[in-house]
Structure 1
Amino acid sequence: MATGALSIGCGLLGAGLSSGVFLVLGCLIWAMLAAAFCLRLRYEGERWWREAATPPALTSVAATAVLGTRFALLGWTGVAVALLCLAVVAWVPLLARVLRHRGRKVPGAAYLVCVSTQALAVLIASVALDAGAAWLAWPAAGLVALGLALYAVTLERFDARELRHGKGDHWVACSALAITALAVSRLADAAAPAGPLHWATGAHDALRIAGFVLLGLALAAYAVLVCCEIRWPRPRYDVRRWSTVNPMAMTALATIAWSVTAGVGWLRTLGGVLLWVALLAWAVTGVAAVRRGGRPAGPPRVD
């Protein structure tokens, strides 16, 4: 998911070669994880079914949607629609199962119920823009509303101690805000004078206001989480650190997207800086993962 977000961000900044490299890497990682997913379903069905009730299962939906968005931005509508269908088919049962098994206090990974929903909204809105299909903006808007509701429910149950003791997935709270801002950006583009919803002038203005508020909240959450990392350092590698890299990349991507949507130059500069930070985090985490053979430092928390 982080690799796909970096590909989109590089593409928006005009770094076509880097974007292509990250897209290829993202596709390879997606294919390997999809194969592992199928093998586990075939040979470890009981374990697969148990893990399907935990929020990390929704990463498969979000990652598929992020890749689909990159293909939609490239104009590969057929591939984007195929990935959209696959993501929706997985999202419906997984979301229902995760929501049925959520606890009273949840870790940061629980925000994946929002991230996966908003990732679908981003992909649907991107397909709508690419194909000029105005009707697709309505299900995208519905998913944005649902994602916000899921964020509110998760926030009420979030264990604030994760800010001090979390192993990396507490950053997903920031990712949920950033990807929501990105989804609203796509809807604002659809309602712009040149978009398929060009007649929805009032909606365009309202979406711009909502998007800036959400982007501001995402950047504020990013700053708070950085302060928490400084106050309570967590230098050891844990597989959940990938849940830190993705929010960094997604916040950069949302910032760059809004610089385009709103025509604000300094947001593009800020987004570029954040993208470099995300790239550095991606590289450091990747090296640490290779050194540990991809094994987590401890058992993942799934409550």
Structure 2
Amino acid sequence: MQHRPNVIPRPFWSQLPPAAGAAVMATGIVSVGLHLTGYAVLSGILLVLAAALWVLLAADFALRLLRDRSRWRHEADSPPALTAVAATCVLGTRFSLLDWQGLSETLLVIAVLAWPGLLLVVVRHWTPRMPGAVFLACVATQGLAVLGATLSAGLGVEWLGYAAVVVFWFGIVMYVAAFTRFDLRQVFTGAGDHWVAGGALAISALAAAKLVLAGRAGDLWNSDVTGVLRGMCGVLLALDVAWYVVLAVAEVLRPRFTYDVRRWSTVFPMGMTAVAMLSVATAVEASWLKGPGQVLLWIAVAVWLGTAVGAVTSTERVRSSARARGRSGKRVRSGERGRSRERVRSRERR
């Protein structure tokens, strides 16, 4: 009788696609928003969750690189691979707000090392009519600008601010390039990542606000540069809000309630829009933006909770299905062993 080797089930986190990195981005940015509005305990809880998931995904990323190089190359070619850079920058920004600058610097170095290679590979595989994940090229780039500007202000390092402003403008170019490849039908047909079309503008507005604040802290810019950056804060935020309205209306007209891992890419733009609005309010001294920013933050928290419930339910469903298949397989193997023993006894009687 042929014996089948026992198959050791892989942990659920090792089977997650690159798009799962958006869960770290979403959780991290909502944590930033709660920190900015004074909800330290809730912010801390979400930070722990985001950091734990980042560690799991980073470990899986490294293991795939070492043990499953073909799968790693295939996934590195896709736009969601850039969530690795964006998630690292979001976490670094959050840690910087806690004044853990050494850890933030380490995360910046990791993001800077990963960014150019992933960006080049992803952009080379762009095609016409792509989903919203195409805008992750902008999000990852602006994530570097946000973290660089934040550390420039926190550490008083001028060159980080100068580097961040260059990266910021490159991020704007990446947004325009991505928009030419975006399939606008995704607004009504996308599974969640179509929201990144607006989220990329939100993180760009946040980067502009952080650059204004970095310039104020370190006297980096003259009045002309400061004026341009302040103007970009307003323009980018207005465009982001316009996208937010369009996307929200599309969700009402064509509801999509089934859980999909790409729904984390809906939570992230919602949270990022709230954080951008709160940060721009400080950067351009427009306190009236803080009220709408807080409203949008709590909407993002509600959507985060709904998506988290969907993720847990989906994971449990997959596990239950795997257990059922395992029990079914055991019954089949048990039946085969029984029939084999019966055949042996029959031959012995003959």
Residue 83 (structure 2) pairs with residue 32 (structure 1): no
Secondary structure of the corresponding residue to residue 258 of structure 2? coil
Q: Return the TM-score normalized by structure 2.
A: 0.82
Shift of 1:179: 0.1
Task: Provide closer, same or farther for how the CA distance between residues 198 and 101 of structure 1 changes in structure 2, counting only shifts above 3 A.
Answer: closer
Q: Residue 67 of structure 2 aligns with which residue?
A: 43
Q: Which amino acid aligns with 2:68?
A: E
Alignment of 1:46-61 (within 5 A): 46-61=70-85
Residue 156 (structure 2) pairs with residue 132 (structure 1): yes
Q: Which amino acid aligns with 1:148?
A: I
Secondary structure of the corresponding residue to residue 284 of structure 1? helix
Q: Which amino acid aligns with 1:154?
A: A
Q: Residue 254 of structure 1 aligns with which residue?
A: 276
Alignment of 1:98-117 (within 5 A): 98-117=122-141
Partner Cα distance (2:222, 2:210) in 1? 14
Task: Provide closer, same or farther for how the CA distance between residues 199 and 293 of structure 1 changes in structure 2, counting only shifts above 3 A.
Answer: closer
Q: Deviations over 1:150-199 (max 9, x none)?
A: 1101111111111111100100111100000000000111222xx11255
Q: Residue 235 of structure 2 aligns with which residue?
A: 213
Residue 91 (structure 2) pairs with residue 67 (structure 1): yes
Residue ranges of structure 2 left out of the alignment (5+ in a row): 1-24, 319-350
Partner Cα distance (1:157, 1:46) in 2? 26
Shift of 1:39: 2.0
- Which residue of 183, 187, 199 corresponds with 2:207? 183
Question: Contact (CA 8 Å) 1:164, 1:232: kept in 2 or not?
Answer: yes
Partner Cα distance (1:159, 1:187) in 2? 31
Question: Contact (CA 8 Å) 2:126, 2:181: kept in 1 or not?
Answer: no
Partner Cα distance (2:134, 2:316) in 1? 22
Residue 179 (structure 2) pairs with residue 141 (structure 1): no
Shift of 1:44: 1.7
Question: Contact (CA 8 Å) 1:175, 1:251: kept in 2 or not?
Answer: yes
- Superposition RMSD in Å: 1.4
Q: Residue 308 of structure 2 aligns with which residue?
A: 286
Task: Provide closer, same or farther for how the CA distance between residues 211 and 74 of structure 1 changes in structure 2, counting only shifts above 3 A.
Answer: same
Q: Return the TM-score normalized by structure 1.
A: 0.94
Shift of 1:206: 1.8
Q: Which has the larger radius of gyration?
A: 2
Secondary structure of the corresponding residue to residue 117 of structure 2? helix
Partner Cα distance (2:88, 2:220) in 1? 29
